[in-house]
């Protein structure tokens, strides 16, 4: 297919030559740089590239051009290059138009002219856009291959683990793909061996655990040092922020994550109210950037390990994992977040992972093409998932217990849901039963006011309800409320009769009932349950770790 194309569009010959020159000097080794001097010419170039099946990575266009503005051209360009990143080059006077284009046509970024020096003003923007494009359009020659049944809960777990850890893979369904039977025969795999995972180097993995898969992929599954300054349990926004700040400030740092970095936020199709990203960004993108940042500063990340216990050993705390090994650290930050609560519907347990899912990744969304999909929940996570799934589903039904969405969902999401032609909201309703042989086939919905039930056909149910903290591993020494959320700071003093604070100093703001153990993010009692606040608490926890370490 050749190199991906970067297309520049500007009617001024000198500006056109300048940006083409700057782009060639940095990107010509990996991309083909093509120039156009008008919107019409650019669309003609894109049409030819589409006919040849040549990928377009980026279109960088001037806004003020005769005949067709840059925004008008970029909007029409979607028909020929739907996956290309769009960059608008504009003057300060046109910034309002550019910001509006972020919502109207999905503009990825706008850059004020002039862009000199390019090392500071142009290349960092282009690097980000091309990095995002590469992630969304990977080179498939070295992909992991997964052979299994789409209604298998274990196949679902494997695909979710790969997707959330940003490992490109190709999926072959034994019920639909001839290639699946060929690969299975070559590996001499039986039904019990599915899902079969073929890695570029190494033996075929037969129904592997996530720990076995992580090890085969070369992901770190064990800590490398005997003692750390700080161990962070949980790799969501709070944990990743803590890792970035701790490692950048010289603390030896390790994160332990049982599934994949990002937590619930990592599965979000769009985070649109996070500061500094006017177009918004996906949870996957935010996670990948944070992991790279933490790694650059030297933080270790241990994956596919479930933390099962905690001990205090004098000045050192030990985090115990499921299986051999443990991690010792002078301070611990608990950032395990929350998981979605189980839906109390008859028959649901047997169908979880077989059409019923808690949360949703991009792989699930694409598999719903042309189907009826049901989503349960009324918070932002449910709204974001509904909008993403609706891009593929024929019809999406959002099942809501309340009489409205406004009390629990951000206004921008409510407005988009209401304007989506294929999304229906069923208020004052709940799922009371699930049915199917081998996978989900029917749902029974009940009206909470009348009690009237009706059964509907569907193979897809995604659940986004409530929040249950992952704190059972902490043991009795860490004070929690009756729902399991960790009590910290001043709130500890209110529980002093049952769990007296043993030091002369007051507990630090995010400190738990065990000195030197801190909690950050959604796992903490009365936290905001927002990505930005979790990031802030992760950073604040490191500041408090420094204060604690100075006292011991």
Give the separation between CA 277 and CA 272, rounded to whole angstroms.
Answer: 7
What mean pLDDT do residues 38-60 have?
93
Give the separation between CA 257 and CA 307, rounded to whole angstroms.
Answer: 8
What mean pLDDT do residues 272-277 have?
86
pLDDT attached to residue 363: 64
Q: What is the tens place of the pLDDT at every residue in 141-179?
A: 668 999 999 889 999 999 989 988 888 899 999 988 999
Query: How much of the chain exceeds pLDDT 70, in percent?
Result: 98
pLDDT attached to residue 141: 61
Q: What is the DSSP string of 354-399?
A: TTEEES--HHHHHHTTTSEEEEE--SHHHHHHHHHHHTT-SEEEEE
264/398: higher pLDDT: 398
pLDDT attached to residue 359: 86
Strand order in the sheet with 453-457: 429-435, 442-447, 453-457
Give the separation between CA 247 and CA 298, rounded to whole angstroms.
Answer: 6
Q: What is the tens place of the pLDDT at every residue in 217-265?
A: 999 999 999 999 999 999 999 999 999 999 999 999 999 999 899 988 8
Which domains does the chain possess?
Answer: 5-136 (3.40.50.2300), 142-212 (3.40.30.10), 228-339+468-549 (3.50.50.60), 348-463 (3.50.50.60)
Residue 44 pLDDT level (bands cut at 50, 70, 90): very high
What mean pLDDT do residues 138-142 have?
67
Confidence check: pLDDT of 1 > 60 = no
Name, in order, each residue with C-beta under 8 angstroms of 224's C-beta and a sequence gap of 6 or more.
Answer: 300
Residue 500 pLDDT level (bands cut at 50, 70, 90): confident
What mean pLDDT do residues 402-418 have?
94
Q: What is the dihedral angle through the alpha carbons of 331, 337, 341, 342, rounded to the nearest 10 degrees? A: -70
pLDDT attached to residue 496: 57
Nearest alpha carbon to residue 258 among 303, 293, 298, 322? 303
Mean pLDDT, all residues of the chain: 92
Q: What is the tens place of the pLDDT at every residue in 339-383?
A: 888 899 999 999 999 999 998 876 678 889 999 999 999 999 899
Confidence check: pLDDT of 495 > 70 = no
Q: What is the tens place of the pLDDT at every residue in 277-336?
A: 888 888 888 999 999 999 999 999 999 999 999 999 999 999 999 977 899 999 999 999
Query: How much of the chain exceeds pLDDT 90, in percent?
Result: 75
Residue 126 pLDDT level (bands cut at 50, 70, 90): very high
- Joined together, the tokens standing for residue 406 give 């406004």
Confidence check: pLDDT of 451 > 80 = yes
What mean pLDDT do residues 455-462 have?
96
Nearest alpha carbon to residue 56 among 86, 100, 19? 86
What mean pLDDT do residues 486-504 have?
81
Task: With both helix axes pointing from N to C terminus, report the angle between 283-296 and 123-136 in degrees, rounded to the nearest 10.
Answer: 120
pLDDT attached to residue 266: 83
Q: What length does the chain have?
A: 552
466/528: higher pLDDT: 528
């Amino acid at each position: 297919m050749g190199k991906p194309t970067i297309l520049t569009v500007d009617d001024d010959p000198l500006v056109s030559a300048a940006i083409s020159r700057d782009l060639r000097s940095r990107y010509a080794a990996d991309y083909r740089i093509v120039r156009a001097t008008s919107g019409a010419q650019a669309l003609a170039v894109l049409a030819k590239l589409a006919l040849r099946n040549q990928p377009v990575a980026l279109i960088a266009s001037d806004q003020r051009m005769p005949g067709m503005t840059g925004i008008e051209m970029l909007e029409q360009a979607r028909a020929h290059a739907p996956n290309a990143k769009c960059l608008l080059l504009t003057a300060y006077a046109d910034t309002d138009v550019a910001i509006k284009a972020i919502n109207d046509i999905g503009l990825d970024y706008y850059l004020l002219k002039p862009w000199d020096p390019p090392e500071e003003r142009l290349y960092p923007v282009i690097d980000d856009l091309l990095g995002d494009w590469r992630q969304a359009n990977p080179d498939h020659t070295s992909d992991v291959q997964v052979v299994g049944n789409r209604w298998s809960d274990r196949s679902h777990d494997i695909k979710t683990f790969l997707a959330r850890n940003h490992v490109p893979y190709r999926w072959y369904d034994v019920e639909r793909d001839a290639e699946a039977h060929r690969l299975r025969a070559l590996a001499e795999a039986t039904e019990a061996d599915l899902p079969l995972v073929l890695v570029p180097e190494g033996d075929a993995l037969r129904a592997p655990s996530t720990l076995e898969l992580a090890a085969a992929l070369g992901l770190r599954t064990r800590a490398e040092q005997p003692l750390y300054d700080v161990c962070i349990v949980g790799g969501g926004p709070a944990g990743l922020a803590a890792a970035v700040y701790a490692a950048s400030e010289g603390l030896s740092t390790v994160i332990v994550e049982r599934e994949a970095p990002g937590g619930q936020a990592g599965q979000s199709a769009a985070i649109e109210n996070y500061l500094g990203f006017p177009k918004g960004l996906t949870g996957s993108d935010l996670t990948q950037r944070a992991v790279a940042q933490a790694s650059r500063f030297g933080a270790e990340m241990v994956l596919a390990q479930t933390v099962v216990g905690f001990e205090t050993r004098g000045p050192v705390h030990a985090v115990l994992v499921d299986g051999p090994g443990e991690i010792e650290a002078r301070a611990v930050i608990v950032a395990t977040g929350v998981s979605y609560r189980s839906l109390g519907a008859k028959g649901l347990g047997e169908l979880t992972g077989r059409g019923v899912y808690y949360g949703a990744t991009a792989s699930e969304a694409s598999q719903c093409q042309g189907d009826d999909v049901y989503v349960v929940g009324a918070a932002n996570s449910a709204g974001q998932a509904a909008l993403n799934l609706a891009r593929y589903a024929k019809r999406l039904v959002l099942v809501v217990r309340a009489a409205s969405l406004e009390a629990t969902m951000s206004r921008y999401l409510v407005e988009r849901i209401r304007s989506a032609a294929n999304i229906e909201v069923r208020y004052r309703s709940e799922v009371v039963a699930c049915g199917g042989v081998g996978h989900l086939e029917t749902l029974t919905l009940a009206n909470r006011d009348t009690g009237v039930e009706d059964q509907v056909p569907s193979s897809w149910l995604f659940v986004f309800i409530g929040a249950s903290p992952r704190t059972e591993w902490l043991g009795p020494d860490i004070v929690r409320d009756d729902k399991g959320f960790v009590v910290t700071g001043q709130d500890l003093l209110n529980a002093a009769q049952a769990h007296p604070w043993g030091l002369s100093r007051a507990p630090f703001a995010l400190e738990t009932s065990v000195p030197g153990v801190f909690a950050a993010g959604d796992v903490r009692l009365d936290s905001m349950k927002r990505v930005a606040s979790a990031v802030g608490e992760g950073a604040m926890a490191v500041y408090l770790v420094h204060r604690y370490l100075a006292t011991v």
